[in-house]
C-alpha cells in the first residue's frame, strides 16, 4: 500500500494531470527532480459486492485495449483493494499461457529497502516467482523523485516489451501511475533556490512563503497544502524560476502507449474496517521493530521515507511520544484519509475498467485474473 500521509490536490479529470506544484504521490511529496536513483470510470460489468459475485464481472482481456494491443496492464486503486495480489495473479496467468510477464511497482514507499511491513510489500513467496521491478531500489535516506521513477519505470516496461512480455504496473501512488501512463513532463530543480527557500521557511514560517506563491501562481497557492513544507517549497521553487511560465502540467495528457487500466474498488464501509484491521496487523507483526532497525540506518533523516504512514507513527512510539495503541489508531486514520484521496484520483481515469472487489479474497482475485487473461 502507499504509506505516506499527505493532502493530495483534486484528482485529474478524465485522465488530466495535477499541477506540478502539488505532487499527490504515495510518499511524502517527492521532488520532480531527475534523481539518479532508480468523470466516474465506466463499469466493467455487473459490479459484484462479494467474492462469489466476481464471476459476474465482464473482465477486460489482456492483449486488447481501446487503441490497440494492451501489453501494459495497470492495476490501480485505493490501499487495501488487493492490487498486488491481482497483479501477481494476472502475471501468473500470462506466464502460464506461454508469455513472459513481470510486475512493475507503482507504490512510492515500496521503492525503499527494508520498508516491508508498513507498505504491505509482498514476500518472495507471495510473488509466486513473478519478477518484480522497482522494489527495494532506494535507501531510506534517499529522496523519492517522480521524474526518476517515470524514467526508470518506463525503461523497465520497455525492456519487458522488448522481450515479448506483458508488463503489469501495480500500485496506488496516483502521480507515479499517471507519470508512467501519460505523457507528463516534470520541471527540474534548482538546489540553491531550494536551500534558500528551506531556510526562509524555517525562519519566517509557511505564511510568508504562501503569500509569495499567491503572487507568482494563484492557482498553485489555492490548491497547495501549506502545512506540508516540502510541497509548499517545491511549488514556490517552480513558480520562482524565470524560465517556467506556468507550473501546470497538460490538462489532458496523451497516453504514453496503449494500456489496459483496471481500477479496483471496495465498498467504503468494508474498506474502513479492513484498513483498521490492517493497521493493527502491521503493529502486531513487528512494524515498531522494523522501524527501529531503519532508524539506525537513517530513517529519521530521510525526507520522504520518514513521513510514510505507519512509519512516522512508529517513530512516535520509539520516541516515547505515543503508545502502540495510539499509533495504531493514528495509522488507521491517516490511511483512511489517504484512501479517500486515492479513490478521488483513480475514479477520474476515464478509460479505466471499474472492478468492484468487495469481499474478494485471494481465491476470488485469482478467478478474476483468469477471466482477465483470456
| Residue 103, SS3 per DSSP | strand
DSSP 125: G
Q: Which residues are annotated as a binding site for ATP?
A: 77-84
Other CB atoms within 10 A of residue 373 CB: 24
Specify the higher pLDDT residue, 110 or 64.
110
Q: Which residues are annotated as a binding site for substrate?
A: 79-84
Give pLDDT, residue 47.
34
DSSP 105: E
The whole-angstrom separation of Cα 99 and Cα 70 is 14
Digit-coded pLDDT (tens) for 261-272: 999 999 999 999
Give pLDDT, residue 44.
32
Give pLDDT, residue 6.
35
The whole-angstrom separation of Cα 150 and Cα 332 is 29
Q: Which residues are annotated as a binding site?
A: 77-84
Specify the higher pLDDT residue, 16 or 341.
341
The whole-angstrom separation of Cα 36 and Cα 92 is 32
Task: Write down the residue that cell numbers 490548491 correspond to.
Answer: 223
pLDDT at position 243 over 60 = no
Fold for the domain defined by 191-240: Histone, subunit A (1.10.20)
Question: Burial level of 302, CB count in 10 A (0-12/13-18/19+)?
Answer: buried
Q: Could you give the C-alpha distances from 184 to 176, 347, 352, 367, in angstroms and in order?
A: 10, 19, 18, 35
Q: What class is the 13-186+253-274+334-372 domain?
A: alpha beta
Q: What is the pTM of this model?
A: 0.74
| Residue 77, SS3 per DSSP | strand
Would you say 148 and 35 are in contact if contact means Cβ atoms under 8 Å apart?
yes
Give pLDDT, residue 328.
98
- φ and ψ at residue 121, rounded to 5 degrees: -65, 135
pLDDT at position 60 over 90 = no
Specify the higher pLDDT residue, 245 or 122.
122
Residue boundaries of the structural domains of the chain: 13-186+253-274+334-372, 191-240
pLDDT at position 89 over 60 = yes
* Ordered alpha helix ranges (H), 19-114: 83-96
Amino acid at each position: 500500500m502507499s504509506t505516506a500521509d499527505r493532502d493530495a490536490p483534486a484528482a485529474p479529470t478524465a485522465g488530466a494531470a495535477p499541477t506540478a506544484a502539488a505532487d499527490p504521490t504515495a510518499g511524502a511529496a517527492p521532488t520532480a527532480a531527475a534523481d539518479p536513483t532508480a468523470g466516474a470510470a465506466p463499469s466493467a460489468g455487473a459490479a459484484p459486492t462479494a467474492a462469489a459475485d466476481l464471476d459476474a464481472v465482464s473482465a477486460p482481456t489482456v492483449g486488447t485495449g481501446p487503441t490497440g494491443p494492451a501489453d501494459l496492464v495497470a492495476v490501480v486503486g485505493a490501499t487495501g483493494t488487493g492490487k498486488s495480489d491481482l497483479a501477481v495473479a494476472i502475471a501468473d496467468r500470462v506466464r502460464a499461457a506461454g508469455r513472459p510477464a513481470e510486475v512493475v511497482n507503482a507504490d512510492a514507499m515500496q521503492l525503499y529497502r527494508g520498508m516491508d511491513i508498513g507498505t504491505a510489500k509482498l514476500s518472495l513467496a507471495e510473488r509466486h516467482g513473478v519478477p518484480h521491478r522497482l522494489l527495494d531500489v532506494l535507501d531510506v535516506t534517499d529522496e523519492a523523485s517522480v521524474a526518476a521513477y517515470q524514467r526508470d519505470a518506463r525503461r523497465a516496461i520497455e525492456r519487458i516489451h522488448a522481450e515479448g512480455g506483458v508488463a503489469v504496473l501495480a500500485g496506488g501512488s496516483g502521480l507515479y501511475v499517471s507519470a508512467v501512463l501519460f505523457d507528463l513532463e516534470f520541471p527540474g530543480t534548482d538546489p540553491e533556490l531550494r536551500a534558500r527557500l528551506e531556510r526562509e521557511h524555517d525562519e519566517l514560517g509557511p505564511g510568508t512563503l504562501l503569500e509569495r506563491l499567491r503572487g507568482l501562481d494563484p492557482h498553485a497557492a489555492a490548491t497547495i497544502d501549506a502545512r506540508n513544507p516540502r510541497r509548499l517549497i517545491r511549488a514556490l521553487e517552480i513558480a520562482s524560476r524565470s524560465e517556467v511560465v506556468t507550473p501546470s502540467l497538460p490538462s489532458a495528457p496523451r497516453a504514453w502507449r496503449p494500456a489496459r487500466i483496471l481500477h479496483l474498488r471496495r465498498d467504503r464501509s468494508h474498506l474502513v474496517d479492513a484498513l483498521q484491521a490492517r493497521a493493527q496487523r502491521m503493529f502486531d507483526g513487528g512494524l515498531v521493530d522494523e522501524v527501529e532497525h531503519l532508524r539506525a540506518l537513517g530513517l529519521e533523516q530521510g525526507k520522504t521515507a520518514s513521513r510514510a504512514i505507519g512509519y512516522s507513527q512508529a517513530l512516535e512510539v520509539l520516541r516515547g511520544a505515543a503508545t502502540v495503541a495510539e499509533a495504531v489508531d493514528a495509522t488507521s486514520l491517516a490511511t483512511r484519509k489517504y484512501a479517500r484521496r486515492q479513490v478521488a484520483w483513480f475514479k477520474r481515469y476515464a478509460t479505466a475498467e471499474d472492478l468492484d472487489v468487495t469481499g474478494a479474497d485471494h481465491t476470488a482475485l485469482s478467478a478474476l485474473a483468469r477471466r482477465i487473461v483470456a
